C-alpha cells in the first residue's frame, strides 16, 4: 500500500507554514465554499463523511457537532485540542508547525457550522512554544487576508482565534480537563452530564476537536464526503496520520488509509526493528492502549479492529518494542507516567496509579513477591471504571495487557530477581550523580 | 527504593514577604491588558498571566502569586493551587539554562536515561536541582511530543532532538 499525501500534502514544501504556500495549493477555497452553504448542510456533509475524532476516542465528529443546541442562553465555543501529550504522539505538532493554515481553515469552517461565538481557542501544550509562535504568525496572516475577523469574506460571520498555552499537564488533553484549564483552573475533569456540547467552557455549549480532526474538515468540504469515504474502510474513513516511534529503523509520521496493517506499517514502511532483532510488543495507540504481542500485528489499523483485539487506536501512536527490552521496565515507565499525571481528584486513580508504579518498580529491581502479578491485576480492577475520566482506565491498559501477555517475564523477575537474559535495562536503579 | 522524585512540589518556597511586593514592568503590564481582552472572564487569564510572570522574572515567587491574585481577583491560595498543579511553572529560581530531559517510553527506548545521567554527571548536579553556580537546572519531564525524533531534551524553549550521548555533550559545550 502506498503512503498518502493528503493531510501531509504541504508539509515538505519550503516555507510550508506561510499563507502564500497554502493559498498556492488551493488553500481557503473550502472556506469560501463553506460560507456559501448553510451550517446544517456542513454538519450533514461531515456526518456523511463518517469522520471520526482523531484525538483518541474516535467519536463521530458530525454527531458531536449535532449535539450543540440551537438558541442556548450562552455563546457557543469551538476549542481546538492541541494538547498532544499522549506518549508516542507527535502528529498534531507536524500539522501545527508545518501546515498551520490547514488547521485554521478547519477551525473557521467548524466554528461556522456549530454557530460559534466570535472567539475560538486553540489549547496548545505549553512545551510547544515554537508551534504556538507558528500559529500566532499564521493567525495574523489570516486576519490580514480577511479570513478571520469581522464579516469574514463578506459572509457576515465573525470569528477570531486565540492561542492558549497550557502549562504541562497531560490531563488537560481530556476535554473537560481542557475546559477547566481554559477557564483558569486546575485541569481536573468534570462530572458528565452535562456534556460539553450543552454546558462547556464559560457555561456555553462547547465543541472540542483534535487538530487532525479539524484538518480533515477543509478536505471534506472541498472534495466532498463521498471522496473522503472512498479512502479506508466503512466507519473508518479518510486519511490518517500514524506516529511510529521506539525501536524501529525509520520512526516518523506516516499517512495511510485506515486499512493499512500494523505489520505492513512497521516492517515495509518503517524498516522493521533495528540490528536484526525480533519484535516483542507493540503499543498501537499511545501509552493508554493495551499492548499487542508480536503475533498480534496482522491487524488493520482501524478503530474497530483494534477495539475488537482488546486494544485501541487512540491517537494512532505506535510504539515498537523489540526483544532487547524488558517488558516490566516498559510497563513501569508507563505506570510512572500515569502516577505523575493523575490529577488527584478521584481516589482510585490517585492512589492506585502510585501503587502500580511502586509494585512494578520493586519487580523490576528484583524485589518482587510471588503474588505481585496477581496484585497488579487486582489493583487494576480497583482502578478501572472507578474514576471520573479515562485516565485511570488508561493507566491499567498497559499493566493488565503486559501481565497477561508476558506473565513468564514477570515470573522470571520474581524467581530470578533479574530481567530476562538478553534484555537490557534502560535505566539503572540510581543515577550515578557527582556532587 | 530510592527514586528520582524531587522533593514535595506542593510546598511553597517560602511565605510571601509583605515587604517585597512585586509589580509588572510597563511592557509586561501592557501584555497583561492584551491577554485580558482575549477572554470573557478575568480568571481565564490565569495561565497566560502566570506564563507572563515566568517570562518576566524566570520563576513564580510567592510574592508574584499574591500579585497575580490581586490582578485576577483570586486568593493567593487559589493561584498557588494552579502553580503547583502545572509542571511548567517554576516554583523555585532556575538556571539560565533549564534542561528538561524527556525519559518517557519512546525516549527511554532510545537511551534517554543514558543522556540524562551524562548531563547530571557532567554538570555535577542532582536531578531537579540547580548547579552550584546557578547556571543550569536539570529536570526529568514526561513526554514532550517528539517521539519520532527521540530522545529529546528541551533547553529553555528549544527542542534538541535525535540526541546521542555524544551530541548532547557537544550541545552542553556550547552553553556558556
Please provide the distance, in angstroms rounded to a whole number, between the alpha carbons at the two ends of chain B: 36
Report B:93-132 residues touching A (Cβ under 8 A).
103-106, 108-113, 116-117, 120-121, 124-127
Residue B101: count of CB within 10 angstroms of its CB: 25
Angle CA A222–A223–A224, to nearest 5: 100
Q: Residues of B with CB below 8 A from A287's CB?
A: 104-105, 143
Q: Please state, in angstroms and rounded to a whole number, the distance separating the CA atoms of residues A225 and A363.
A: 51
**pLDDT at position A337 over 70:** yes
Q: Read off the pTM.
A: 0.95
Q: Which three cell numbers stand for residue A44?
A: 450533514
- B157 CB within 8 Å of a chain A CB: yes
Q: Please state, in angstroms and rounded to a whole number, the distance separating the CA atoms of residues A69 and B158.
A: 42
- B77 CB within 8 Å of a chain A CB: no
Task: For A44-55, write each residue's pLDDT tens digit.
Answer: 999 999 999 999
- A337 CB within 8 Å of a chain B CB: yes
Q: How many CB pairs under 8 A join A and B?
A: 177
**pLDDT at position A19 over 90:** yes
Q: What region does B25 belong to: left with phi over 0, alpha with psi -120 to 50, or beta? A: beta
Residue A244 to chain B, least CA–CA distance (Å): 6
Q: Residue A255 — φ and ψ, nearest 5°?
A: -110, 125
Report B:13-32 residues touching A (Cβ under 8 A).
none
**pLDDT at position A110 over 70:** yes
Report A:265-304 residues touching B (Cβ under 8 A).
283, 287
Q: Residues of B with CB below 8 A from A434's CB?
A: 120-121, 124
- A365 CB within 8 Å of a chain B CB: yes
Say if CB A117 and CB A75 are below 8 A apart: yes
- Nearest C-alpha in B relative to A364: B1
User: DSSP assignment of A347-393, as one string?
Assistant: HHHHHHHHHHHHHHHHHHTT---TTHHHHHHHHHHHHTT-SSSSHHH
What is the mean predicted confidence (pLDDT) over A290-309?
A: 96
Q: Residues of A with CB below 8 A from B85's CB?
A: 169, 186-187, 343
**Nearest Cβ partner for A85 among B38, B48, B145:** B145
Q: Which three cell numbers stand for residue B22?
A: 512585586
To the nearest whole number, what is the mean pLDDT of chain A? Answer: 95
B5 pLDDT tier (thresholds 50, 70, 90): very low
**pLDDT at position A394 over 70:** yes
Q: Which three cell numbers stand for residue B12?
A: 511553597
- B149 CB within 8 Å of a chain A CB: yes
A431 pLDDT tier (thresholds 50, 70, 90): low
Angle CA B128–B131–B132, to nearest 5: 135
**Nearest Cβ partner for A169 among B40, B85, B148:** B85
User: Is B143 close to A251, i.e. CB distance below 8 A?
Assistant: no
- A362 CB within 8 Å of a chain B CB: yes
Task: For B96-119, write each residue's pLDDT tens digit.
Answer: 999 999 999 999 999 999 999 999
Say if CB A388 and CB A346 are below 8 A apart: yes
User: DSSP assignment of A97-161, as one string?
Assistant: HH-HHHHHHHHHHHHHHHT--SEEEEEE-TT-HHHHHHHHHHHHHHHHTTSSBSSGGGSS--BEE
A117 pLDDT tier (thresholds 50, 70, 90): confident
Specify the pairing of strand B136-141 against strand B153-155. unpaired
Q: Which three cell numbers stand for residue B31?
A: 501584555
- B10 CB within 8 Å of a chain A CB: no
* Coil, helix or strand at residue B168: helix
- A102 CB within 8 Å of a chain B CB: no
**Nearest Cβ partner for B88 among A87, A126, A365:** A126
* Coil, helix or strand at residue A240: strand
Residue whose C-alpha cell reads 493531510 in the numeric block: A7
Contacts of A38 (CB under 8 A, 6+ apart): none
Listed in sequence order, the DSSP H helices in A185-275 are 211-223, 225-229, 262-263
Q: Please state, in angstroms and rounded to a whole number, the distance separating the CA atoms of residues A260 and A139.
A: 35
Residue A237: count of CB within 10 angstroms of its CB: 23
User: Is B1 close to A186, i.e. CB distance below 8 A?
Assistant: no
Angle CA A47–A121–A176, to nearest 5: 75
Say if CB A255 and CB A249 are below 8 A apart: no
- Nearest C-alpha in A relative to B154: A127
- A246 CB within 8 Å of a chain B CB: yes
Residue A429 confidence (pLDDT): 57
- A85 CB within 8 Å of a chain B CB: yes
- A236 CB within 8 Å of a chain B CB: no
What is the mean predicted confidence (pLDDT) over A378-391?
A: 96
Q: What is the dihedral of CA B81, B84, B87, B90, to 10 degrees?
A: 120
Q: Residues of B with CB below 8 A from A126's CB?
A: 51, 86, 88
Q: Which three cell numbers stand for residue B161?
A: 532532538
Amino acid at each position: 500500500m502506498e503512503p498518502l499525501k493528503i493531510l501531509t500534502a504541504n508539509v515538505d514544501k519550503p516555507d510550508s507554514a506561510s499563507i502564500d504556500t497554502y493559498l498556492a495549493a488551493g488553500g481557503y477555497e473550502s472556506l469560501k465554499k463553506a460560507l456559501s452553504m448553510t451550517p446544517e448542510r456542513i454538519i450533514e456533509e461531515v456526518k456523511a463523511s463518517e469522520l471520526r475524532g482523531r484525538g483518541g476516542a474516535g467519536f463521530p465528529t458530525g454527531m458531536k457537532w449535532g449535539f450543540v443546541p440551537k438558541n442556548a442562553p450562552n455563546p457557543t465555543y469551538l476549542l481546538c485540542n492541541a494538547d498532544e501529550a499522549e506518549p508516542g504522539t507527535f502528529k498534531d505538532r507536524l500539522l501545527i508547525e508545518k501546515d498551520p493554515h490547514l488547521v485554521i481553515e478547519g477551525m473557521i469552517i467548524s466554528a461556522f457550522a456549530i454557530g460559534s461565538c466570535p472567539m475560538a481557542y486553540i489549547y496548545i501544550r505549553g512545551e510547544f512554544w515554537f508551534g504556538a509562535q507558528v500559529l500566532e504568525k499564521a493567525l495574523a496572516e489570516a486576519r490580514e487576508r480577511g479570513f478571520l475577523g469581522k464579516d469574514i469574506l463578506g459572509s457576515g460571520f465573525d470569528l477570531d482565534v486565540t492561542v492558549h498555552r497550557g502549562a504541562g499537564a497531560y490531563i488537560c488533553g481530556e476535554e473537560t480537563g481542557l475546559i477547566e484549564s481554559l477557564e483558569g483552573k486546575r485541569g481536573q475533569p468534570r462530572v458528565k452530564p452535562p456534556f460539553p456540547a450543552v454546558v462547556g467552557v464559560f457555561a456555553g455549549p462547547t465543541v472540542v476537536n483534535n487538530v487532525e480532526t479539524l484538518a480533515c474538515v477543509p478536505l471534506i468540504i472541498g472534495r466532498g464526503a463521498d471522496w473522503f469515504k472512498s479512502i479506508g474502510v466503512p466507519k473508518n474513513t479518510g486519511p490518517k496520520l500514524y506516529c511510529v516511534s521506539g525501536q524501529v529503523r525509520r520512526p516518523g509520521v506516516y499517512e495511510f488509509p485506515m486499512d493499512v496493517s500494523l505489520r505492513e506499517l512497521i516492517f515495509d514502511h518503517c524498516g522493521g526493528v533495528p540490528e536484526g532483532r525480533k519484535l516483542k510488543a507493540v503499543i498501537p495507540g499511545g501509552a493508554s492502549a493495551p499492548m499487542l504481542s508480536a503475533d498480534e500485528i496482522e491487524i488493520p489499523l482501524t478503530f474497530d479492529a483494534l477495539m475488537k483485539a482488546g486494544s485501541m487506536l487512540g491517537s494512532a501512536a505506535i510504539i515498537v518494542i523489540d526483544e532487547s527490552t524488558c517488558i516490566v521496565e516498559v510497563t513501569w515507565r508507563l505506570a510512572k507516567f500515569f502516577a505523575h499525571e493523575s490529577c488527584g481528584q478521584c481516589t482510585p486513580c490517585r492512589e492506585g496509579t502510585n501503587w502500580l508504579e511502586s509494585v512494578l518498580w520493586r519487580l523490576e529491581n528484583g524485589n518482587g513477591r510471588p503474588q505481585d502479578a496477581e496484585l497488579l491485576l487486582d489493583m487494576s480492577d480497583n482502578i478501572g471504571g472507578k474514576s471520573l475520566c479515562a485516565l485511570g482506565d488508561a493507566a491499567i491498559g498497559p499493566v493488565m495487557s503486559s501481565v497477561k501477555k508476558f506473565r513468564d517475564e514477570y515470573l522470571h523477575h520474581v524467581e530470578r530477581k533479574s530481567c530476562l537474559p538478553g534484555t537490557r535495562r534502560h535505566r539503572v536503579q540510581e543515577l550515578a550523580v557527582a556532587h | 527504593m530510592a527514586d528520582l522524585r524531587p522533593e514535595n512540589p506542593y510546598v511553597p518556597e517560602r511565605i510571601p514577604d509583605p515587604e517585597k511586593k512585586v509589580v509588572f514592568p510597563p511592557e509586561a503590564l501592557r501584555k497583561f491588558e492584551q491577554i485580558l481582552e482575549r477572554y470573557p472572564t478575568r480568571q481565564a487569564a490565569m495561565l497566560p498571566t502566570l506564563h507572563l510572570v515566568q517570562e518576566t522574572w524566570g520563576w513564580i515567587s510567592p510574592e508574584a502569586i499574591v500579585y497575580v491574585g490581586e490582578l485576577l481577583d483570586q486568593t493567593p491560595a487559589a493561584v498557588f493551587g494552579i502553580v503547583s498543579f502545572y509542571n511548567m511553572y517554576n516554583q523555585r529560581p532556575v538556571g539560565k539554562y533549564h534542561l528538561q530531559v524527556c525519559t518517557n517510553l519512546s525516549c527511554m527506548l532510545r537511551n534517554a536515561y543514558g543522556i540524562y545521567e551524562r548531563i547530571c554527571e557532567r554538570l555535577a548536579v542532582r536531578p531537579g536541582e540547580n548547579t552550584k553556580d546557578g547556571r543550569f537546572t536539570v529536570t526529568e519531564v514526561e513526554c514532550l511530543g517528539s517521539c519520532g525524533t527521540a530522545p529529546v531534551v528541551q533547553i529553555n524553549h528549544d527542542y534538541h532532538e535525535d540526541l546521542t550521548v555524544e551530541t548532547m555533550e557537544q550541545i552542553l559545550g556550547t552553553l556558556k
